[in-house]
A and B are shown apart, each in its own frame.
Chain A
Amino acid sequence: MATAAITAEREHYLNKEYGIRSWLLTTDHKRIALLYLMSITFFFFIGGFFALLIRLELLTPAGDLVQADTYNKLFTMHGMVMIFFFLIPSIPAVLGNFLVPIMIGAKDLAFPRINLLSWYLYIIAGVMMLHCIVTGGVDTGWTFYTPFSTAFSNTKVIEAGLAIFVAGFSSILTGLNFVVTIHRMRAPGMTWSRLPLFIWAHYATSIIQLLGTPVLAITLVLVVFERVFHLGIFDPTRGGDPLLFQHLFWFYSHPAVYIMILPSMGVVTEIIPCFSRKRIFGYHAVALSSIAIAVFGFLVWAHHMFVAGISLYSALIFSILSYLVAIPSAIKVFNWTATMYKGSITFSTPMLYAFGFIGLFTMGGLTGLFLSALGIDVHVTDTYFVVAHFHYIMVGGAVMGYLGGMHFWWPKISGRMYPEWLGKFAALIVFLGFNLTFFPQFVLGYLGMPRRYWQYPPEFQVLNVLSTAGSTILAVGYVLPMLYFLWSMRYGKIADDNPWGAAGLEWKTTSPPPTFNFEETPEVTWEAYNYDEIPAPVEVSLER
């Protein structure tokens, strides 16, 4: 552990100003990223708390921990909090906010004050959601299906809907900021083809946020209007169609899952070349596949409605389109593995998370293809098969990518190294806990256990017990990084500018960076991922 520097400490974005005002009124994208980091971590544990309660209830076949209505609230709050207050902001608002300007050689995002507004909107939404939770919660499922949500549920649908509306606005503004920044503020020489693929991933994500979230917003507004003004737009007795709600809802909510996964893919695309000491294989394929995912992702939404009552012909169309959307993801997986081929692999913590991502995302993605097949979907829809599928992608994919990214860029963000052996240990725990939690759920779903049920036939108990056991292990794996990241801020080894020997402009500035990111605006004359020119780190940054 290095001792504190003897000379006066260099000024950087963390020590430039102290005091709560300097944080709450900051327009520095790096500080805003940390504000987000604290907030989304908080909501991650709230959502996780609901998950543990769900798993606790499902330890036994009988509904003996909570009542059925309460159970409905548990899975609803788990879904809403995890999706809207953790997954969707996570990587873009933390790593994206921190890194996008630095990676392109800019001093900040295009609209720093709007960036701060984004965070405040997120906090307001979060407070509304917390208030909703403590005053009774919602029981409609995160999917708000009508007419239950509009006419029959007597829980706090309006408040939850408005909270998510505000959170959506936060998301839209972040996307807007990123797109304008990437178009207008690249440093001299930073052409589109030299951009890190993390940037391409966030560009694609931002497009989805911009084009999709407004539709969710208007849909939630209509649900609120329905409850408040009794409009009848989704009321079957007045000619309203509940399926219209589902079309409008899923038009956003399917692309939303790509908002959640694309940034993670971007992270993985940065980690793998670094720890293979090789240029990414197929740069343009990876870049364009991000855009393709964003575009195709908007064409498949009714695969969530196959058994809801849509016409068979439209189901066929959406089924075929859903197959197509898997192709760009597969392209990425091939490119990652091709990058590693004949590379010089280091099993650092970020790389472990990247490996985990590739394996688990592939499983989640392939099971998505099972679900796209109408014949199979009829049997496993609304069962634990679906639950396992999306948790493999969201948790095995997106969260692993997020953790990998946090470990990879932690030295840059904090100026400190986390303890590497603990990092590897936690990664392993996460991987084991994750698989124990969710693999049994594939089997449960296949065997017919429905989702969102608070009790089940006794023959499903063994698998449920395994799943709950896994969830406790997974929880440990998530708590560990939080603890040792905090520890490292005080006691961690002081990080070099480029402890991993990685490519990218962020590694050419100090750890942590100065407030305006660079001493001088960089001028880029090299291609991305120029690992043939960058020496591997001489000092073993991976020691204890």
Chain B
Amino acid sequence: MSSKLYYGIWITLMILTVVTAKVAFIDLGPFNTVVALVIATCKALLVVLFFMHVKYASEKLTRMVIISSIFWLLILLFLSLADYSTRALGHG
């Protein structure tokens, strides 16, 4: 991979970092959190796809490992949330 591509990704990541910090001070209501997480995910994707070579030089198995791990984390988060978010309903 060319070093120019790496530098390009690096600049993008730096810019996105500044954007995250600045946008936090603007009132977007409930979307502040969404925007912050979306930007963070974009940054994470850039690191995974380019710095960790997943886009150009990886096999399906690597992608399966990444996706499964994230999916499993989401199971933990969402099923726990299923309890907490429904406690106030009815008798809990």
Contacts and interface: CB of A to CB of B under 8 A. Distances in A.
Q: Tell whether any CB of A sits under 8 Å from a CB of B in the complex.
A: yes
Interface of A: 183, 211, 215, 243-244, 247, 251, 298-299, 301-302, 309-314, 317-318
Interface string B15-50: 000000000000000000000000000000000000
A211 B83 contact: no
B82 A183 contact: no
B90 interface: yes
A243 B82 CA distance: 13
Contact of B82 (A211, A215, A309, A317): A317
Contact of A314 (B69, B83, B91): B83
B76 A251 contact: yes
A302 B43 CA distance: 34
Interface of B: 61, 68-69, 72, 75-76, 79-80, 82-84, 86-87, 89-92
A298 B82 contact: no
A313 B82 contact: yes
A311 B87 contact: yes
Contacts of A247: 80, 83
A302 B86 CA distance: 14
A215 B92 contact: no
A299 B72 contact: no
Contacts of B69: 211
Nearest to B79: A299
Nearest to A243: B83
**Which 6 A-B residue pairs are closest in the complex by CB-CB distance?**
A314-B83, A311-B86, A313-B86, A311-B87, A310-B83, A314-B82
B83 A311 contact: yes
B80 A311 contact: no
29 contacts: A211-B68, A211-B69, A211-B72, A215-B76, A243-B83, A247-B83, A251-B80, A298-B72, A298-B75, A299-B75, A301-B79, A302-B79, A310-B83, A310-B87, A311-B84, A311-B86, A311-B87, A311-B90, A312-B86, A312-B90, A312-B91, A312-B92, A313-B82, A313-B89, A314-B79, A314-B82, A314-B86, A317-B79, A317-B82
A251 B83 CA distance: 13
Contacts, number: 44
A311 B81 CA distance: 11
Nearest to B83: A314
A311 B75 contact: no
Contacts of A317: 79, 82
A317 B81 CA distance: 12
B27 to A, nearest CB: 27
B59 to A, nearest CB: 10
Nearest to B69: A211
A318 B92 CA distance: 15
B66 to A, nearest CB: 13
Interface-central residue, B68, B79, B90, B91, by most chain A CB under 10 Å: B79
A314 B86 CA distance: 7
Given A247-B80, A299-B79, A302-B79, A311 B68 contact: no
Nearest to A321: B79
Nearest to B82: A314
A414 to B, nearest CB: 37
Contact of A183 (B61, B68, B86, B87): B61
B24 to A, nearest CB: 25
B76 A311 contact: no
Contacts of A302: 79, 83
Contact of B89 (A211, A251, A298, A311): A311
A52 B31 CA distance: 60
Contacts of A244: 80
A301 B86 CA distance: 17
Contacts of B87: 310-311
Contacts of A313: 82, 86, 89-90
Interface-central residue, B75, B76, B89, B92, by most chain A CB under 10 Å: B76
A295 to B, nearest CB: 9
Given A298-B75, A312-B86, 8 more contacts: A247-B83, A251-B80, A302-B79, A310-B87, A311-B83, A311-B89, A312-B92, A313-B90
A126 B80 CA distance: 32
Contacts of B90: 311-313
A318 B78 CA distance: 13
Contacts of A183: 61
Nearest to B72: A211
Contacts of A215: 76
Contacts of B83: 243, 247, 302, 310-311, 314
Contacts of A314: 79, 82-83, 86
B81 to A, nearest CB: 9
A247 B80 CA distance: 7
Contacts of A298: 72, 75
A243 B83 CA distance: 10
Contacts of A311: 82-84, 86-87, 89-90, 92
Contacts of B68: 211
B47 to A, nearest CB: 21
Contacts of A299: 75, 79
Nearest to A310: B83
